[in-house]
Each structure stands twice: as structure tokens, then as C-alpha cells.
């Protein structure tokens, strides 16, 4: 089957209804009664990138507290109310967004939306849960402090975006965790939880009219305008440098990366394809073949293209025994250089396009996955039509596009490398 | 929010790093069939998306590793990707990638499974290949040696670099003094180093047969076409005559409480776990496994659970606490209680507080409202699972691989509903310290500090 034929599959966009409530709240709905469930996901702009200077973790802490007491319920009462009806609800913060997920049996839909309304608009942020969530975040950070993966990731992050909010740890810092106050949480909430940047997706056993009513109830009370601090666009720093943090373990955990290509760049789609060829797929990727399969250097090796609202990076990682860490990095670097100089082969390009096109369907096979995808698309600025266009964009990537993107993405193959372990020869 | 913290415990190891699904399913129109060569077939229709999950489960896992060859089940799982005469290494993976499919494999104590998730029109290709490698695997020393290094790197990553995982391994080894569940799924490092091509092939010949396999197909398919496809692919494989037998020495009745401690400089946050030897869904008297399931949920299923409320909310001596029943097992299995102490609280103090909560349940029983809530949550999990064909496929596969029947799965929600507070009270008696191992993960003094103290 050719790539082109697969793009002519039934329209995914046509399954999405844009529901707009009386109050003007929009949600993308996929109505489906096959399973008696309703799944909702929403996001607003303003994740960890909005943490106040010197106070990383505020957005994460706020997200962790939205289901810890709201309206007439204290924390215990709120969780009982959820559990009595088997309603799943959680909130989290990422770099650029703060979001929530809710899933309910359809017979409890009204109750689920009522509890979601309380969490979104009336979370109490009582002292008891504030201190408890702080202690949980604290313990989580302590637990990971000497975990090689965490150490390498954190070092890599700090070196890649120095001085920028993207360099801060999303889940906070042991040094400053004690200084996060309830006032910080309240300020973050009023700054980010607003209709202006709100994106919502709902999947499951619910019709548009019923949903519209719930949308006004849950989100209608939010202020229209967010008041986000300006975040500057930032280029990736540190390519060409290596940073080793000594951790007493037999294996070196490595992160490597360089400047990426952003979502709004015309080469974003070709870059996605060439990254897939380097380290995106599992068994077919060059890094898998060269590092794992041929040489047995590692169990895990990958690369990915990370696009944020204000920056983009190529980031990859592997873990290899200390004695062979330098060898692993050489292999990785030479594959990157090779792709930069020569581009992929026709066969690689063809396979990558086919994989990326065919695998798109696997992102849409459960209610929660569909809701997640639809919110991501909205937050990233895409319209519904992208659901159908996406595979056509991949299919249209030519060898010239791929070579150009590879040249830009991999450049002179210089990398920022962060290592946790006791690597030899690095 | 809750702090994700489940102590290092044998779940399953994937061929490549990936998320794993676990939940309890129910309901859809399941079809079961068996080929003449003994291959069992389960079809789980789900027509919401044009994709299909194709899995083959073998009824053997790390607990069937021969003495001195720990890790062979898992190593063979890796080697199963090295190709056959008709499909040399990489060919099938290229084909699957070509239509945008995903594939992976995993090994557990009791089973090993291989799967692909693909657009539905590619199901037959997957079946042809999976049938081919059930019989025709080709291994050379050239592919075996680097793959052994990959597995050793996997062990270095999961265990040798992680004190919590090392403690988990020691706790399992202490809990099972005789039964092979005490051996790590990935194997002991020194035994992995000695695993050879001939070991892998001997193991392959013994276990990779149609009689020992279960085919699960979930997704946008109809049962009759799946069975026809299976006949024309797997059906061509000759039966071996009988299914391989598992030889599992029985764990003696435990009598001594065991305390296992691991202290490491890298530990900054101590943690506690207790593991008890309890019946599994396969070995338990009727209703007992379900009561243990409800008990685990009541004790440690989220923020309304007894451990969380008492230790984290009320006494404030822990920052996390939970419980887990590993009921899907061929032989007697594990029940976990775990917690992370608040700053300044010793693990002994936390352990005593956990004991008191368990003793309270065994003595006084539980609130009816807590019981109703726990059952509501558990039964709902079966409905939530229907949203995910991959989750359903894994639930059915694991259940059948340990010897349960379709009706056991179908009746599971009703059997959970039938659990009474008296049943739960009785189930708590299994959590007797003499049946278990307590594991303490502790901070060792840093070398610099030790040196200073010595001055």
C-alpha cells in the first residue's frame, strides 16, 4: 500500500463536532456510545513556564491541589465524592500548559461535571492539603535526587536553556520548595485559569446539547482574560559541551541534544520525518540498529523532536555501561553527522513516511487518547482540519525536504551532552 | 494529588521501553475457539477504530527458568526478534513499521507475550509471521552475543543502578524461599552472563508450541474471519502431542517474619514495604482472591483508603501509602503494603502504624460505606477497561495464561460485588507478619560524612 492511498481513509475531522455553549465556551466533541463512558480533557496556557522567578513548582503544586478540596468539600470529602461514583479526575502542569482530565461512567456524568466545576472554580487550597502536597513533592524530589535518569535530565535542561523559565524543574526544587506560598498558588490560578486560552475536548456517550450546558456550568465562571507573564523565545544553548555528574552506578545515563525545529517552521514536518529515521521508531531507527542491535551497547536509545511554545530541541538519550559510554556517544554522533551530510536513503524516507502515516490511527483508539490528542492540537494552534491534513503533509515530504531538514536539524552534529554515572573516557 | 510510589516488584519486562497497561475488564461479546493443534483463540471485537491488537501468549515465564539459567525466558523473548529462515532479522519489524504498526513483547513470572497493534487490514501478515517464529526461529552466536549485552544493560538500568529495585529483588528472594517466584524475571546478573544459544534453543523447543500458546485478537474484526485466518496460519503448525508441563516446587507454609534492609548512599528518601504470601486467583478457595482484591483497595487504593487516611492525613507520619494484590498468578502470590515516611519518622514507627491498621481490620472489620465505595471503584475498572482494546487483550491474555477461564473473567464484577465485610475481615488475616517480609530502604551515611565522623 502506498502512502498516498492511506491518506484517503475516512475523514477523522468529520467525526469531530465543534460545540459552542450559550456562554461562548467551545469544545471539540466526538460523540460515541459504544462504551458507557465520557472522557474530558482541557488545558489552559501557563504551565511551569509561568512559575515565578526562583519559585519553580508553583504550577505543578497548583495542579496537585485542584482535587484536594473544593466548594463545600474538604480534601477527604472531595475524594469520597469522586470515589463514590468511580469518577477519575486529575490535573497536571507541563512547560506551557496546565490541564485536567476527567473520566466517568455515563450514568454519573452530571455528578462528574459538578465536581469538575468545583475543582476548576472553587478549589479551596486549604492549609492542610497545601502542606501535604508540598511534602509529597518534596519526598518525590528526594527519592529521585540520585536517580541517574533524573540527574542527567535535570543537568541537560539547566544547560540547554540557561536563565530561561524552560530551564527550571517543572516539579520544583528542594532548595526553594519550602518558600512556595498559598498566595503564589492563588496568583498562579488567577493568572492562568481563564477562558481566553481554554481548550476542551470531550469523547463518549454525551450529545452536543447536554455537553453545552455542562460547559457553561464548569467553565463559564472563569475570567475571560489570562494575565500571563511574557516568556521570551529561546534558542538551545550549550551544543558542543559535555557535563558529567558523578553518580556511583555501573551505568552512564546520557542525554544529548541540540537546537530543534519549531511547530511553525516550514520544515517541522520534514524534521519530524528525519528524526524518526534517526531515533524515533523502535526497531527501524538508525540509533536502535547501530547502538543496540549491532553493538549491544544499550537497552534504550532514542531521539525526539520536542517543540514548545517558545523553543524547540532535538533531544535523545541512552544508558550504557560506564566502560562503553564514550563508544556509545561516538556511534550516536557519527549517525547524526552522517544523516546531516548525506540525508536518509530513499528507502528510509519511504518507510518513515509510511510509519508516521499508518501509526497516526493508533493515537485515536481510546476515548482518553482521543480527548488528549484533540486538546493538544487545539493548544498547539491547529484547526480540526489538521486531523485529515496531517498525513497528507507527511506524505508530501520529498527527499529534498528531508535532506534540507536533516542539514538544519543535525547541522555540524555538535551536541550538548549530560551524563550521570562514572563514564570512562568522557 | 497522590505520589506514584509502588515498590519495585515483578510486573513484566518489555523487550523495549514502553508503558504497560493494567486494569480489570469485563463485558463485550468475546468468542473463544481452539485449533486442532491445540492453539487457544480469543477474539474481542471493538469496532470504534480501524485497528487491531494481535497477541500471542505463551504459558511460561521466568518461574519456569531451569535451575542455574535464570533469565532465559526473558532472554529468549529478546531473541525471538532475530528472525527465521523465511523472515530474516528485521524483515517483519520493517513490514510492521511500514504500515505504521507497533510491536513489542514482555516477560512475566508466569507468561511471555508478543504483540502488534496495526491497521486492521494487516492482521493476516502478523499472524503469518507470529506463526512462523513459533516454530522456525534461527539463532546464531553473532546475534546472541550482542543481545546478551543488551539484556545486561537492561539489568544495569533497572536494577544495578537503583537501590530500590535491589531491595525489591532481595525482598522477593526472601519471601519465596523455595518457589521460583523468588528469582528476578530478568535473571541474576552472573547467570545472564552464562546464557548461551543452546540454552535459548532448548527452552524454545520446550515451550514454543501451539498447545502452549494463546492467540488474542482485539479490535475491528469479526470472530469467524479471525478463526479462519488463524487456521490458515497457526493451523499449519504441527501439534507437539501435549502441552509442556510447568514444574513448580511449592513454597512451604511460612512461619518466620523476615526483615530485609538495604542502605545505600544514593537513598535520600527512605521507604517501607511489606509483602505477604497469599493465595492467587488460581489457587484461592472461592471468593478469597476477590476478598483480597477488595482488601487491597480498601487499605491502599487511593486517597480514601485506610492507609492513606490514617498515615498521611491523620497521623501525618507518611507522605505516601498504598496496597496492591498481585492476584493474577499461577501459584501462591504477593500482597503488598507500602509507605514513605514523613521527615523524622523512622521506618520502625511507620511499620508499627501499618501493623495497627491491618490488625484493626482483622479484629473489627470495616465500615460498610468504605466497602461499597471500594466495590464501586473496582467494578467500574472493568467498564473503563472496555475503552481500551489493548488493556482488554492484556487482561484476557494474562488471565487465560495463568489458567483461568473466560467465565472467571465474565463473573469477576459479580464476584467482587458479592464480597462481604466479613470476607474482608477474614482476608486481613492473611497479612500475618509470619507470612511476610518487611523491606526497609534506608539512607547510608555518605562517605564524606563517615570520614568526618571518624575524625
- The string of pLDDT tens digits covering residues A220-268 is 999 999 999 999 999 999 999 999 999 999 999 999 999 999 999 999 9
Say whether residue A106 is in contact with chain B using an 8 A CB cutoff: no
Q: Would you call B1 and A284 a contact, using CB atoms and an 8 Å cutoff?
A: no
In this structure, the number of other CB atoms found within 10 A of the CB of residue A280 comes to: 23
Instruction: Supply the pLDDT for residue A11.
Output: 87
Instruction: Supply the pLDDT for residue B241.
Output: 87
Per the prediction, chain A carries an average pLDDT of 95
Chain B nearest CA to A232, separation (Å): 31
Q: Which of A105, A148, A361 sits opposite B49 (nearest CB)?
A: A361
Instruction: Supply the pLDDT for residue A243.
Output: 97
Q: How confident is the model at residue A273 (pLDDT cuts 50, 70, 90)?
A: very high
Instruction: Supply the pLDDT for residue B6.
Output: 55
**Chain A residues inside the 8 Å CB shell of B49:** 361, 364-365
Instruction: Supply the pLDDT for residue B9.
Output: 62
**Chain B residues inside the 8 Å CB shell of A249:** 156, 160-161, 266
Per-residue 3-state assignment (H helix, E strand, C coil) for chain B = CCCCCCCCCCCCEECCCCCCCCCCCCCCCCEEEECCCCCEEEEEECCCCCEEEEEEEECCCHHHCCCCCCCHHHHHHHHCCCEECCCECCHHHHHHHHCCCEEEEEECCCCEEEEEEEEHHHHHHHHHHHHHHHHCECCCHHHHHHHHHHHHHHHHHHHHCCHHHHHHHHHHHHHCCCCHHHCCCCCCHHHHCCCCHHHHHHHHHHHCCHHHEEEEEEECCCHHHHHHHHHHCHHHCCCCCCCCCCCCCCCCCCCCCEEEEEEECCCCCCEEEEEEEECCCCCCCCCHHHHHHHHHHHHHCCCCCHHHHHHHHHCCCEEEEEEEECCCCCCCEEEEEEEEECCCCCHHHHHHHHHHHHHHHHHHCCCHHHHHHHHHHHHHHHHHHCCCHHHHHHHHHHHHHCCCCHHHHHHHHHHHHCCCHHHHHHHHHHCCHHHEEEEEEEECCCHHHHHHHHC
Q: How, if at all, do strands B213-219 and B40-45 pair?
A: parallel
Instruction: Supply the pLDDT for residue A14.
Output: 92
The whole-number average pLDDT for the span A182-201 is: 97
Name the burial class of residue A21, with classes exposed (0-12), middle (13-18) and buried (19+) by CB atoms within 10 angstroms of its CB: buried
The whole-number average pLDDT for the span A280-291 is: 89
In B414-433, the residues whose Cβ lies within 8 Å of chain A are none
Q: How confident is the model at residue A7 (pLDDT cuts 50, 70, 90)?
A: very low
For testing contact with chain A, the best of B117, B118, B157 (most A CBs within 10 A): B157
Question: How distant, in Å, are the alpha carbons of A167, A329, B293 from that of A318?
Answer: 21, 9, 38
Chain A: residue whose CA lies nearest to B391: A366
Q: Which of B47, B119, B152 sits opposite A358 (nearest CB)?
A: B119
Q: How many CA atoms lie within 13 A of A190 on its CB side?
A: 5
Q: How confident is the model at residue A10 (pLDDT cuts 50, 70, 90)?
A: confident
pLDDT in tens, A384-423: 999 999 999 999 999 999 999 999 999 999 999 999 999 9
Establish, for the pair of chains A and B, how many residue pairs have beta carbons separated by less than 8 Å: 204
Q: Which of B48, B103, B384 sits opposite A103 (nearest CB)?
A: B384
Q: How many CA atoms lie within 13 A of A328 on its CB side?
A: 35
Residue A5 predicted with pLDDT over 50: no
Q: Which of B49, B161, B309 sits opposite A250 (nearest CB)?
A: B161
The whole-number average pLDDT for the span A290-316 is: 96
Instruction: Supply the pLDDT for residue B410.
Output: 92
Say whether residue A245 is in contact with chain B using an 8 A CB cutoff: no
Q: Would you call B99 and A354 a contact, using CB atoms and an 8 Å cutoff?
A: yes
Contact A198, A24 (CB under 8 A): no
Question: How distant, in Å, are the alpha carbons of A152, A300, A320, A338, A346 from that of A417?
Answer: 9, 16, 14, 18, 30
Q: Would you call B319 and A364 a contact, using CB atoms and an 8 Å cutoff?
A: no
In A165-224, the residues whose Cβ lies within 8 Å of chain B are none
Chain B: residue whose CA lies nearest to A85: B376
Say whether residue B151 is in contact with chain A using an 8 A CB cutoff: yes
Chain B nearest CA to A195, separation (Å): 24
Contact A321, A252 (CB under 8 A): yes
Digit-by-digit pLDDT tens for chain B (455 residues) are: 665 555 666 666 766 654 333 444 445 689 999 999 999 999 999 998 899 999 999 999 999 999 999 999 999 999 999 999 999 998 999 899 888 999 999 999 999 999 999 999 999 999 999 999 999 999 999 999 999 999 999 999 999 999 999 999 999 999 999 999 999 999 999 999 999 999 999 999 999 999 999 999 999 999 999 999 999 999 999 999 888 988 899 999 999 999 999 999 999 999 999 999 999 999 999 999 999 999 999 999 999 999 999 999 999 999 999 999 999 999 999 999 999 999 999 999 999 999 999 999 999 999 999 999 999 999 999 999 999 999 999 999 999 999 999 999 999 999 999 999 999 999 999 999 999 999 999 999 876 544 444 43
Q: Which of A36, A281, A295 sits opposite B97 (nearest CB)?
A: A281
pTM of the full predicted structure? Answer: 0.94
Active site residues of B: 77
Say whether residue A139 is in contact with chain B using an 8 A CB cutoff: yes
**Chain B residues inside the 8 Å CB shell of A295:** 146, 149
In this structure, the number of other CB atoms found within 10 A of the CB of residue B8 comes to: 21
**Chain B residues inside the 8 Å CB shell of A135:** 319, 342-343
Residue A293 predicted with pLDDT over 90: yes
Name the burial class of residue A323, with classes exposed (0-12), middle (13-18) and buried (19+) by CB atoms within 10 angstroms of its CB: middle
Chain A nearest CA to B93, separation (Å): 6
Per the prediction, chain B carries an average pLDDT of 92
**Chain A residues inside the 8 Å CB shell of B117:** 362
Say whether residue A266 is in contact with chain B using an 8 A CB cutoff: no
Chain A nearest CA to B82, separation (Å): 10
Say whether residue A247 is in contact with chain B using an 8 A CB cutoff: yes
Residue A129 predicted with pLDDT over 80: yes
pLDDT in tens, A48-101: 999 999 999 999 999 999 999 999 999 999 999 999 999 999 999 999 999 999
Q: Which residues pair with A100 in a beta bridge?
A: A42, A91
Comparing C-alpha atoms, which of A167, A186, A174 is closest to residue A125? Answer: A186
The whole-number average pLDDT for the span A370-383 is: 97
Percent of chain A with pLDDT over 70: 98
Q: Which of B17, B265, B267 sits opposite A300 (nearest CB)?
A: B17
Tell me the C-alpha distance between B179 and B28, whole Å.
Answer: 36
Residue A3 predicted with pLDDT over 50: no
In this structure, the number of other CB atoms found within 10 A of the CB of residue A411 comes to: 16
Say whether residue A292 is in contact with chain B using an 8 A CB cutoff: yes
Q: How confident is the model at residue A281 (pLDDT cuts 50, 70, 90)?
A: confident
In B235-274, the residues whose Cβ lies within 8 Å of chain A are 265-269, 271
Q: Which of A34, A321, A359 sits opposite B100 (nearest CB)?
A: A359
Instruction: Supply the pLDDT for residue B451.
Output: 44
Say whether residue A65 is in contact with chain B using an 8 A CB cutoff: yes
Say whether residue B191 is in contact with chain A using an 8 A CB cutoff: no
Asked whether the ipTM of the predicted complex exceeds the cut of 0.90, the reply is yes
3-state secondary structure (DSSP) of residue A52? coil
Amino acid at each position: 500500500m502506498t502512502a498516498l492511498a492511506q491518506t484517503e481513509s475516512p475523514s477523522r475531522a468529520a467525526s469531530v463536532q465543534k460545540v459552542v455553549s450559550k456562554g461562548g465556551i467551545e469544545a471539540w466533541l466526538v460523540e460515541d456510545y459504544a462504551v458507557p463512558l465520557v472522557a474530558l480533557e482541557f488545558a489552559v496556557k501557563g504551565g511551569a513556564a509561568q512559575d515565578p522567578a526562583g519559585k519553580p513548582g508553583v504550577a505543578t503544586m497548583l495542579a496537585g491541589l485542584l482535587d484536594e478540596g473544593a466548594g463545600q468539600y474538604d480534601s477527604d470529602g472531595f475524594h469520597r465524592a469522586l470515589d463514590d461514583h468511580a469518577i477519575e479526575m486529575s490535573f497536571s502542569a507541563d512547560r506551557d500548559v496546565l490541564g485536567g482530565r476527567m473520566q466517568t461512567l455515563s450514568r454519573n456524568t452530571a455528578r462528574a461535571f459538578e465536581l469538575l466545576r468545583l475543582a476548576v472554580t472553587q478549589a479551596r487550597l486549604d492549609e492542610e492539603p497545601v502542606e501535604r502536597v508540598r511534602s509529597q513533592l518534596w519526598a518525590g524530589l528526594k527519592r529521585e535526587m540520585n536517580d541517574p535518569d533524573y540527574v542527567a535530565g535535570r543537568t541537560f535542561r539547566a544547560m540547554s536553556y540557561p536563565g530561561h523559565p524552560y530551564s527550571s524543574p517543572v516539579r520544583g526544587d528542594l532548595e526553594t520548595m519550602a518558600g512556595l506560598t498559598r498566595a503564589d498558588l492563588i496568583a498562579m490560578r488567577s493568572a492562568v485559569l481563564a477562558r481566553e486560552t481554554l481548550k476542551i475536548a470531550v469523547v463518549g456517550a454525551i450529545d452536543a446539547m447536554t455537553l453545552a450546558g455542562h460547559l457553561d456550568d464548569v467553565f463559564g465562571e472563569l475570567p475571560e482574560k489570562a494575565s500571563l507573564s511574557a516568556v521570551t523565545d529561546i534558542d538551545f544553548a550549550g551544543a558542543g559541551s559535555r557535563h558529567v555528574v558523578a553518580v556511583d552506578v555501573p551505568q552512564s545515563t546520557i542525554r544529548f541534544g541540540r537546537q530543534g525545529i519549531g511547530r511553525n517552521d516550514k520544515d517541522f514536518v520534514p524534521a519530524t520525518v528525519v528524526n524518526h529515521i534517526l531515533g524515533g521508531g523502535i526497531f527501524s531507527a538508525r540509533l536502535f540498529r547501530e547502538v543496540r542491535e549491532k553493538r549491544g551497547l544499550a537497552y534504550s536509545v532514542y531521539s525526539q523532536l520536542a517543540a514548545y511554545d517558545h523553543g524547540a530541541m532535538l533531544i535523545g538519550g541512552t544508558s550504557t555501561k560506564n566502560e562503553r559510554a564514550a563508544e556509545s556517544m561516538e556511534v550516536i554522533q557519527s549517525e547524526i553527522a552522517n544523516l546531516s551530510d548525506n540525508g536518509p536513503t530513499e528507502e528510509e524516507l519511504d518507510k518513515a513516511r509510511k510509519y508516521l502515516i499508518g501509526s497516526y490511527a493508533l493515537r485515536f483508539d481510546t476515548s482518553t487518547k482521543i480527548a488528549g490528542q484533540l486538546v493538544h492540537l487545539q493548544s498547539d494552534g491547529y484547526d480540526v482540519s489538521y486531523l485529515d491534513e496531517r498525513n497528507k503533509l507527511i506524505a508530501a515530504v520529498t527527499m529534498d525536504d528531508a535532506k534540507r531538514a536533516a542539514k538544519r536539524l543535525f547541522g555540524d552534529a555538535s551536541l550538548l551532552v549530560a551524563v550521570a554515572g562514572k563514564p570512562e573516557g568522557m | 494529588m497522590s505520589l506514584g510510589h509502588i515498590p519495585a516488584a515483578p510486573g513484566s519486562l518489555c523487550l523495549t521501553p514502553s508503558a504497560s497497561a493494567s486494569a480489570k475488564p469485563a463485558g463485550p461479546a468475546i468468542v473463544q475457539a481452539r485449533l486442532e493443534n491445540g492453539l487457544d483463540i480469543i477474539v474481542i471485537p471493538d469496532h470504534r477504530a480501524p485497528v487491531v491488537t494481535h497477541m500471542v501468549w505463551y504459558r511460561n515465564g521466568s518461574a519456569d527458568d531451569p535451575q542455574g539459567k535464570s533469565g532465559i525466558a526473558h532472554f529468549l523473548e529478546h531473541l525471538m526478534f532475530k528472525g527465521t529462515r523465511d523472515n530474516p532479522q528485521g524483515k517483519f519489524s520493517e513490514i510492521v513499521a511500514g504500515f505504521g504498526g507497533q510491536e513489542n513483547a514482555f516477560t512475566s513470572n508466569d507468561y511471555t507475550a508478543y504483540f502488534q497493534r496495526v491497521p486492521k487490514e494487516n492482521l493476516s501478515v502478523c499472524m503469518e509471521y507470529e506463526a512462523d517464529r513459533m516454530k522456525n526461529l534461527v539463532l546464531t552466536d553473532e546475534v546472541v552475543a550482542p543481545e546478551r549485552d543488551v539484556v545486561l544493560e537492561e539489568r544495569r538500568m533497572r536494577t544495578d543502578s537503583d537501590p530500590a529495585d535491589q531491595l525489591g529483588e532481595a525482598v522477593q528472594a526472601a519471601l519465596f524461599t523455595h518457589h521460583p517466584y523468588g528469582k528476578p524475571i530478568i535473571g541474576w546478573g552472573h547467570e545472564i552472563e552464562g546464557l548461551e544459544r543452546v540454552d535459548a534453543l532448548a527452552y524454545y523447543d520446550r515451550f514454543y508450541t501451539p498447545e502452549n500458546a494463546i492467540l488474542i485478537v482485539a479490535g475491528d474484526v469479526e470472530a469467524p474471519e479471525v478463526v479462519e485466518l488463524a487456521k490458515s496460519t497457526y493451523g499449519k503448525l504441527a501439534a507437539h502431542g501435549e502441552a509442556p508441563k510447568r514444574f513448580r516446587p511449592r513454597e512451604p507454609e511460612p512461619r518466620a517474619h523476615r526483615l530485609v534492609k538495604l542502605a545505600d548512599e544514593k537513598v535520600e528518601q527512605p521507604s517501607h514495604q511489606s509483602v505477604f504470601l497469599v493465595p492467587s486467583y488460581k489457587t484461592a478457595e472461592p471468593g478469597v482472591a476477590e476478598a483480597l482484591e477488595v482488601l487491597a483497595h480498601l487499605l491502599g487504593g487511593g486517597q480514601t483508603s485506610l492507609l492513606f487516611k490514617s498515615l498521611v492525613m491523620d497521623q501525618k507520619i507518611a507522605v505516601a501509602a498504598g496496597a496492591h494484590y498481585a492476584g493474577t498468578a499461577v501459584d501462591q502470590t504477593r500482597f503488598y503494603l507500602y509507605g514513605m515516611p514523613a521527615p523524622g519518622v523512622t521506618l520502625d514507627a511507620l511499620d508499627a502504624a501499618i501493623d495497627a491498621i491491618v490488625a484493626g481490620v482483622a479484629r473489627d472489620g470495616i465500615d460498610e460505606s468504605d466497602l461499597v465505595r471500594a466495590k464501586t471503584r473496582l467494578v467500574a475498572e472493568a467498564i473503563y477497561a472496555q475503552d481500551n482494546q489493548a488493556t482488554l487483550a492484556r487482561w484476557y491474555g494474562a488471565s487465560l495464561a495463568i489458567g483461568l477461564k473466560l467465565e472467571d473473567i465474565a463473573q469477576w464484577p459479580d464476584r467482587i460485588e458479592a464480597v462481604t465485610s466479613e470476607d474482608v475481615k477474614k482476608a486481613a488475616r492473611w497479612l500475618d507478619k509470619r507470612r511476610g517480609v518487611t523491606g526497609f530502604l534506608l539512607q547510608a551515611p555518605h562517605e564524606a560524612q563517615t570520614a568526618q565522623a571518624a575524625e
